[in-house]
Amino acid sequence: MPGILFKTIIMRKNPFGIAFILLSAGINLNAQNQNHFTTEGKKVIVYTTADSTNLRLATTDTLSFADFDQPLETQPSIFVDPSHTFQTFLGIGGALTDAAAETFAKLPADKQAEILQNYFDPEKGIGYTIGRINMNSCDFSSDSYTYVNEGDKELKSFNIAHDEKFKIPLIKQAIEKTGGKIHLFISPWSPPEWMKDNNDMLHGGKLKTEFYQSWANYYIKYIQALEKHGIPVWGLTVQNEPMAKQTWESCMYTAEEEKNFIKNYLGPTLQKNNFSSKKLIAWDHNRDLLYQRASALLNDAQTAKYIWGIGFHWYESWNGGLQFENVKRVAESFPNKELLLTEGCNSPFSWNTIDDWKWGEEYGLNMLHDFNNGAVAWTDWNVLLDEQGGPNHVGNFCFAPVHAKTKEGTLHYMNSFYYIGHFSKFIRPGAKRIISSSNRAQLLTTAFINTNGKLVVIVMNPTGERFSYRMYLGKKAVLSTSLPHSIVTLVI
């Protein structure tokens, strides 16, 4: 059956009032595949977000390919090669925390609808396809809570009535907005205090060995409870930040302790309850110890068989800088396991700095490097916070891509929202990463080819310099411009 050719031109204003054009070049959807890409008859649509302009995910150009000679060293260039494909893209999303849900509930209906559309609608919004859910309370909850009565080792009192007020309604609306096409995973910050050696959900502590099985059963209970509410759980992480003794909910595991818990308790318990299909994600902490933890777990076959992937965060800069190479080391050593960023955010919160351009650039920098080093997915922290950078019961306030002034019923979109959107809106689940190589350190780039044959190239310029550059596909190229402190997505 021949492929379907289509061409659309749609004029509209985006949700933020900026006029733009969506162009879809004629593509033979069945004949085009991810390994054989031709520039013949193709146009390049350029979407731009740039500092000191009103450009936010705005269509700024339509380019045509032409013949170009060998580039000189003096000519900034991006070289895209679709003939080699790498990891399969899973998606991008954010955390549907208590804080996000409580803030969402305080908004008027039209602003709630706006949030849902702008995050989860793939056409009118930025197309999130991942959501993270806290199991028990976290710092971004208004209080500390669990789902069982104190001392109930058998979990007979288990219920999630706490989540039914704010969190579950938000999650269900997100599911509806994506048409059910969202991967939801749960993460615990701490077991109940009576299961821990410090008798405190906060300030670190460890899970007592006599409660290992009860705690493994707890995940099962939570997954079952969510699914009774029509919330399908795709996966789970073992423990949020298992090497951090925090002032908020936290619980510490060494590599050996996490291995023991997965191998002898959590893994078998998932299997026993017919939840082997749930994606078990280990580590869920920073890139600094990423290889050490991954190797300890994945070099043990009896542990590795239960693990789908390794999650990581981006907060290691406190010890000297970001360590993107550790993502690559794990990808190289364990190619049969997946890698994904499970949390990242900027802090400390302040309205005085909320529009600083660096916040978006930090997202762009991290996402580009993580995907180029083998990550299949990327999950931001809170999707929505209030005018204080919370609510947060320990005062650990931070930024989210969108903040609400709840008393006024207004929303403020940070530039980070648009930087994320340059990836999430255009790279869709099932895409394959391909090579995009830059001859300028000032121009950062990554590229993917979607299952429908559309090629997506992202170019980020974190400098104050303006660049004219060529984007090459073989011997064909288009001439484009990178504005100072900008990110562009080129869709071919």
DSSP annotation of 4: P
Residue 35: the pLDDT is: 55
Tokens (6 digits) for 139? 């710092």
Residue 119: the pLDDT is: 98
H-run or E-run covering 216: helix 212-228
* Of 102, 249, 338, 343, catalytic: 343
Provide CB contacts within 8 A for 356, sequence distance 6+.
none
The angle at the Cα of 345, spanning 343 to 351, to the nearest 5 degrees, equals 160
Residues counted in the chain: 492
Q: If we measure between CA atoms, which residue out of 346, 158, 136, 343 comes closest to residue 248? A: 136
Q: Taking the chain, what is the end-to-end CA distance rounded to the nearest angstrom?
A: 24
* Of 102, 241, 316, 338, catalytic: 241
Residue 117: the pLDDT is: 98
What is the rounded average pLDDT for all residues in the chain?
Answer: 93
Scan for tokens 């082997």, then name that residue: 276
Answer for the pair 474, 38: CB distance below 8 angstroms, yes or no. Answer: no
Is 343 a catalytic site residue? Answer: yes
Give dist(CA 297, CA 291) in Å, integer: 10
Residue 225: the pLDDT is: 98
Give dist(CA 373, CA 198) in Å, integer: 38
Kindly give the confidence (pLDDT) of every residue in the chain, 492 residues in length, as a single tens digit, with 9 standing for 90 and above: 333 222 333 333 444 443 333 333 333 333 344 457 889 999 999 999 999 999 999 999 999 999 998 999 999 999 999 999 999 999 999 999 999 999 999 999 999 999 999 999 999 999 999 999 999 999 999 999 999 999 999 999 999 999 999 999 999 999 999 999 999 999 999 999 999 999 999 999 999 999 999 999 999 999 999 999 999 999 999 999 999 999 999 999 999 999 999 999 999 999 999 999 999 999 999 999 999 999 999 999 999 999 999 999 999 998 899 999 999 999 999 999 999 999 999 999 999 999 999 999 999 999 999 999 999 999 999 999 999 999 999 999 999 999 999 999 999 999 999 999 999 999 999 999 999 999 999 999 999 999 999 999 999 999 999 999 999 999 999 999 999 999 999 999
> What distance separates the 2 farthest-apart alpha carbons in the chain?
74
Predicted confidence (pLDDT) per residue in 349-383, tens digit: 999 999 999 999 999 999 999 999 999 999 999 99
> What 3-state class would DSSP assign to 104?
helix
Is 123 a catalytic site residue? Answer: no
- pTM score over 0.75: yes
Could you tell me the CA-to-CA distances from 10 to 123, 239, 463 in Å, in that order? 11, 45, 33
Phi first, then psi: give them for residue 106, nearest 5 degrees: -85, -10
Give dist(CA 202, CA 144) in Å, integer: 9
Provide CB contacts within 8 A for 156, sequence distance 6+.
none
Give dist(CA 492, CA 490) in Å, integer: 6
Predicted confidence (pLDDT) per residue in 76-129, tens digit: 999 999 999 999 999 999 999 999 999 999 999 999 999 999 999 999 999 999
Phi first, then psi: give them for residue 295, nearest 5 degrees: -65, -40
Answer for the pair 485, 464: CB distance below 8 angstroms, yes or no. Answer: yes
Compute how many other C-beta atoms are within 10 angstroms of the C-beta atom of residue 179. 10
